[in-house]
Structure 1
Amino acid sequence: MSEFFYKFTPWDSMTEINHRNHKEKDIILKEQIFDEETKKKIFKEIKLSPYDIGEIQIYFYAYSFESNILKLEIDDKQGFKDYVSANSGVKVYRDGLRIYDYGEKSNDWLGLDIRRVNRPGITISNNQLIGYVMLNRSQSSALVEKSNREGFVENEAYEAFEKAVLFALQQFEIQRNIDKSNLNDKYVSKRVKEPVIRRLSDLRETIETKVKDDSLKLDLNREIARIEDEYNDMIETFIKSANAGISLGVAIHEIDKVVDELNRSLDSRSNQALDHAQDLAKRLTELVKGYSMLLRSKDTGIYDIKAIIKQALFNVDFRLKAHGIQLISNIEQYQSSKLKCSRSISIGAITNLIDNSIWWLGYKEIENKKIYVGLTNEMANYDTIIVADNGIGYTIPTEDAIKPFIHGRPTGAGVGLGLFVANQCMENQGGELLFPEFYDFDLPQDFKHGAITALAFRRKAK
């Protein structure tokens, strides 16, 4: 894709939200397929160059039908919905002449409504979208019209063309979901901005100043303390469950790599290979123990931060090697430092950040892939773990990346919970998830343009 341009234009009455533009160039077109040989989902490049299709220009316009949004500007809401519905769908034109019956309600040629059923709220349906695909007749001879003039012959060129249009729509959806989330936050759901704990604290102050009966005041404060404890337990359970769920995929990949290596060693049958197999079997046992640690219900305590990092690196060691990724770390340069945290949650957060970097380095086909996992005390009163890669950096604004179900991956390649859960992990432990600039910390030059994420743990008072 030579150029992608997205523009979000809120109404003048939307004073709580800003215009937003996003540009990208030279995006590699890819589709997710099931590889029969490896029995896994992989990404394969969509190639248009073998076919005479020529330049494709695509225009998408998406609309929200939320009543709380429409009432800000639209008087005739039903009339507006009817207008969009009458013109909805993705139509195809060649030299300005429409190719029927693409864009008709009877022809969901991109399968948008099925995608919407499978992933509601993330993908867009036909009735919300007005789209135009523009072709040049002299350049698109590989797209042959049917004799009845109802669409193109479904040959290999047409299949590549359809996949390319759907890929463009996926790029549009990624950006649209960012603004859709912001719109919903401001004008639809009116989500509570203050954390529950802070509101309970405010309630304590109100009781202190307005309740005169000491016995009643004591009973109310006890009840609030009980609610606070139960709420904290609920949040920790949620974070552990979500963390374990996300880490399960990482664990399966890592264990799969070790098992493959173990099978190869056993097939060789040489003494050296059998010794290696024995070491792998021991490693597999330790690996399963390491991941089972993420499921422990109560493990908050005082831990060595270096030991936590080493366990996270052990959990992904084989995956890094299998993907040809060089690991760079500075943790041996630092003395051991104790911090109060949940060991399983912290290991899970580090593992998820590394897994995110592994995925993007592979998807963007970065040469000489590298990941940095380092430790620094450059932030006053904090021990900070930094995870960085030598990729292209975050593809969406980081303030949006920590929201649930918002991510920059193609549709179906993730659910968008990794950074959200990592952020919740750190907040729950009194720390912070940060997205520093390259010069904020002393980092190797290789990571200047990549994604940089920091887990800042408040240092334990001596």
Structure 2
Amino acid sequence: MSFRVNARAVLELGSELISSDIIAFYELIKNAFDAGSKTGATISFNVVLRRNAYLRLRSKASGNLAVAGKEPKPGKAALAGMLADLKVAVSKALDPAAGKKSVDAFNSIVDKATSLREFLAALDEAYAAGNTIEVADTGSGMSLDELVENFLTIGTPSRKREVEKALGAGGTSPYLGEKGIGRLSSMRLGNRLTVVTARSNDRRFNVLEVDWNKFADIEARVEDIDVEAKKGEIKSDAAFSGTTLVIGDLTEDWTEKRVEEMARLEFARLTDPFVDVRKRKRIALVWNGTRVTIPVMNRLLLENAHAKFSGKFSGGVLSVHMEAVRLGYPHPKEIDDVSRSSQELADLLQDASHELPASALQTLGPFDFEAYWYNRRLLGGIDQLGNQKEVRDLQRNWSGIMLFRDDFRVFPYGNEEDDWLGLDRKALSRPGYVLNKAQFVGHVRIARAKNPKLVDQTNREGLRRTDEERALIGILQHVIRDMLWDFFRETDRKYKKAPIELDDLKADIDTLETRAKNALTKVRQLIPKEERESFDALQHAFNEFRDLSSRAQMKIEQVEEDSRQMIDMAGVGLMVESVAHELARAAESALGVLERLHGQEFPTEVRSQLETLRAEMKTVTKRLRVLDELSVSGRQRSETFDLVDLVQEVLDGHAAKFRRHAIKPSFKHPKHPVRVRLVKGMVVQIVQNLVINSMYWMETRAKRQTDYAPRLNITLEEDPPTLTISDNGPGIAPENIERVFRPFWSLKERGKRRGLGLFVARDHAKSLGATLTLSDKPDRETGRLHEFILELSESAVVK
């Protein structure tokens, strides 16, 4: 036994797979190019009577027929009058622009009716035959046998075999389509289909007629529907080859205005508009014999963008070029070139809800992209393009970042309602530059041969959900959300001197305060009663921090009211957030140790962690006091301590984590104390941040490499006191030697990305009269940077 298929399943299949009119045309157009059409595809709308007018006339005729069947029945004269009125109404509703021949043909069918019942049948027939959409090409055409074997076989495997064979041999895909279901597109547009086709060696055309209405019979099976291919007229040009699909009994109301709108919004973006117009695939639209213009993107629009980015992903490496032309304040043209290794991308694209296999970056395949950004507030008139309104309308028409495969659109990416890169959601969550989809005009280009894992869903509504699809989207999101955002902020910092958005700051401080408060509450519960007195000092420091933080935020709010002081005080906000970050991290770090050792006697590492926390919170509080105009003491006090002991305390505080992750720390230092006079809490925070940073990246590498042995090396030298901290983690790309110290710049996975640790460490070093740098000497094995150097001032040494 075998499955049997009801005929109506074909209709269901077509309606599910072909979800919109443009998708239907897209499939039919792809078939034309797959056939090797030398003139592309021509779509002709031949509409004598609009569908809405047809339905009104039919409704009126049905009403008259119902009246004719009632008692008492109208006389012959009355019936003849009804019929004559209907014929006149039909004649008036016909569009003369369709041509005299088409109008006369329609009228001749209707005029033959001698009764109301005949009129209904004639109207149906005239509408089905007189209103058509023709899709024509001059491709290879089909022989009679091919028409039967290929066109009548849904899901035909011929193209699929050839595509897989070509890709297997490392070549390019010979076809745009391969599923064998594109022919079902015709039923979306109309209930009748006539295929007229011929090979160059055929003497006659080969003809196939399909009435999709027959498939609606719920009792019929596919094999019961009789569809016969036959020979047609003799070709007027013996060498002609090609295919014309004539779709009749149209299912929608087509008007010239609707076709023009579709040309502007849909057909203009069906093939890649960024490609030179002379190299684009030819698609022609015709309405009742008159050519409909399909707009071409004007390069002037792109040349007047306020910023742009372009790049490629190849061999696992992402390369991006960015330009800022006009961000709304005076600045020169800024350019930045950034790259990300496959290792960095693998870390960046991790998500707590779904771990992305590193292999996805290899199987994804190469692609390139380009996009232009517009600040619509600054968008004005452009010579040879139009006034402000016209330019803004033009930018809106082309807005969105579209996806193209082999120069043909992948739907729905780039549509007005589609936010495939999640730009709008992100833009709404933070102030500042608007990086939503409406601000961009751009495209991403993939290829069937180079990106075989990026496959359309069967209904053409996007790519199938695969690891490669997630990697593609994740990379593009990183380019826009992180790279471009950071580029704009860095340009701001250099020329506008506004390093932080204050509204964004307040929300971050609240979040960090809550984290610190929760951590400290749990710490108190875990600490034995005999240690509570010592902890109360920490709790007091936190309460003082909250009070000072509130005052700082009040000062920021006051500054916001006076725009002239905004730039001067923006740095205040950044400082508040950075110290809040320090407090939250320190408290959570101590909590982690306590929770692991709950119920045990306190070993040295716990006491070291608490001492570190105490010193850090002391510095946090002091740093905040400088913002408080009412504070008696706004200065941080230095104290004398041994650098060797300080570093060892930090290492002792992380001993449990070192053991858990098999990290082998090495600390080389002079045998005698190295005494300095500095703000101890600041030095602790610098060392803490560098050590924690190393641990994170070593853990990240360990997840990917089973035979990896993490090592942390710390060296303390004298004259002047210099602390060198290095690890054998993934390292840092040389081009990022200074970027790592920028506020909010980070390559960590989502959810762990703050980008304040190294910024805070360098800021502390500067306050201490020291320098914190990333050594520019690349590692021999990785070619990347692994070593941070903290050089203290000679004047800090206590003899």
Distance in 1 of aligned mates of 2:644 and 2:679: 14
Task: Give yes or no for contact 1:69–1:187 (8 Å, CA) kept in 2.
Answer: no
Distance in 2 of aligned mates of 1:329 and 1:76: 68
**Aligned partner (choices 127, 131, 146) of residue 438 of structure 2:** 127
Distance 1:81 1:359, change over 3 A: farther
Distance 1:343 1:86, change over 3 A: farther
Q: List per-residue Cα deviations over 1:110-160 (Å, max 9, x = no partner).
A: 32211223345599422333443334346647734343x4334xxxx5243
Indicate whether 1:6 and 2:320 are aligned.
Answer: yes
Indicate whether 1:306 and 2:644 are aligned.
Answer: yes
Alignment size in residue pairs: 383
**Aligned partner (choices 160, 183, 186) of residue 491 of structure 2:** 183
Q: List per-residue Cα deviations over 1:275-294 (Å, max 9, x = no partner).
A: xx4355x6435423431331
**Aligned partner (choices 759, 765, 771) of residue 432 of structure 1:** 771
Indicate whether 1:252 and 2:588 are aligned.
Answer: yes
Task: Give yes or no for contact 1:360–1:391 (8 Å, CA) kept in 2.
Answer: yes
Task: Name the aligned partner's letter for residue 176 of structure 1.
Answer: L
Q: List per-residue Cα deviations over 1:363-393 (Å, max 9, x = no partner).
A: 3446222222221235xxx312222222343
**TM-score of the pair, normalised by structure 1:** 0.68
Distance in 2 of aligned mates of 1:411 and 1:248: 18
The aligned residue for residue 223 of structure 1 is none
Task: Give 1:6 shift.
Answer: 0.9
Task: Give yes or no for contact 1:178–1:400 (8 Å, CA) kept in 2.
Answer: no
Task: Name the aligned partner's letter for residue 2 of structure 1.
Answer: G
Task: Give yes or no for contact 1:247–1:351 (8 Å, CA) kept in 2.
Answer: no
Distance in 2 of aligned mates of 1:342 and 1:236: 21
Higher deviation after alignment, 347-356 or 319-328: 319-328
Identity across matched positions, percent: 17
Task: Give yes or no for contact 1:66–1:188 (8 Å, CA) kept in 2.
Answer: no
Indicate whether 1:371 and 2:712 are aligned.
Answer: yes
Task: Give yes or no for contact 1:102–1:109 (8 Å, CA) kept in 2.
Answer: yes
**Aligned partner (choices 734, 754, 779) of residue 415 of structure 1:** 754
Distance in 2 of aligned mates of 1:121 and 1:12: 15
Correspondences of 1:31-430 after superposition (within 5 Å): 31-34=349-352, 44-45=356-357, 48=360, 55-63=365-373, 65=375, 83-120=394-431, 124-137=435-448, 140=452, 143-147=455-459, 149-152=460-463, 157-173=464-480, 174-189=482-497, 242-243=578-579, 245-246=581-582, 248-249=584-585, 251-253=587-589, 255-256=591-592, 259-260=595-596, 262=597, 277-278=600-601, 280=603, 283-296=605-618, 297=621, 300-331=638-669, 333-364=670-701, 365=704, 367-377=708-718, 382-395=720-733, 397-430=736-769
Task: Give yes or no for contact 2:400–2:416 (8 Å, CA) kept in 1.
Answer: yes
Task: Name the aligned partner's letter for residue 328 of structure 1.
Answer: S
Task: Give yes or no for contact 2:639–2:680 (8 Å, CA) kept in 1.
Answer: yes
Question: With CA pairs under 8 Å and 6+ residues apart, which has the higher RCO, 1 or 2?
Answer: 1
Distance 1:78 1:437, change over 3 A: farther
Task: Give 1:350 shift.
Answer: 0.9
Distance in 1 of aligned mates of 2:573 and 2:671: 32
Q: List per-residue Cα deviations over 1:78-125 (Å, max 9, x = no partner).
A: 766655443333322233221222111211123221122334559942
**TM-score of the pair, normalised by structure 2:** 0.42
Distance in 1 of aligned mates of 2:394 and 2:474: 27
Q: Which runs of 5+ in 1 are unaligned?
A: 36-41, 192-234, 267-276
Task: Give yes or no for contact 1:390–1:450 (8 Å, CA) kept in 2.
Answer: no
Higher deviation after alignment, 404-413 or 182-191: 182-191
Task: Give 1:187 shift.
Answer: 4.3
Task: Give yes or no for contact 1:373–1:385 (8 Å, CA) kept in 2.
Answer: yes
Task: Name the aligned partner's letter for residue 245 of structure 1.
Answer: H
Task: Name the aligned partner's letter for residue 63 of structure 1.
Answer: W
Q: Which runs of 5+ in 2 are unaligned?
A: 1-314, 500-570, 623-636
The aligned residue for residue 336 of structure 2 is 20
Task: Give yes or no for contact 1:90–1:102 (8 Å, CA) kept in 2.
Answer: yes
Q: List per-residue Cα deviations over 1:15-43 (Å, max 9, x = no partner).
A: 856543234443453544336xxxxxx95
Give the SS at the match of 2:738: helix
Distance 1:457 1:103, change over 3 A: same
Task: Name the aligned partner's letter for residue 394 of structure 1.
Answer: I
Distance 1:140 1:437, change over 3 A: closer
Distance in 2 of aligned mates of 1:236 and 1:242: 10
Task: Name the aligned partner's letter for residue 377 of structure 1.
Answer: E
Q: What root-mean-square deviation, in Å, do the aligned CA atoms of Structure 1 and Structure 2 show?
A: 4.2
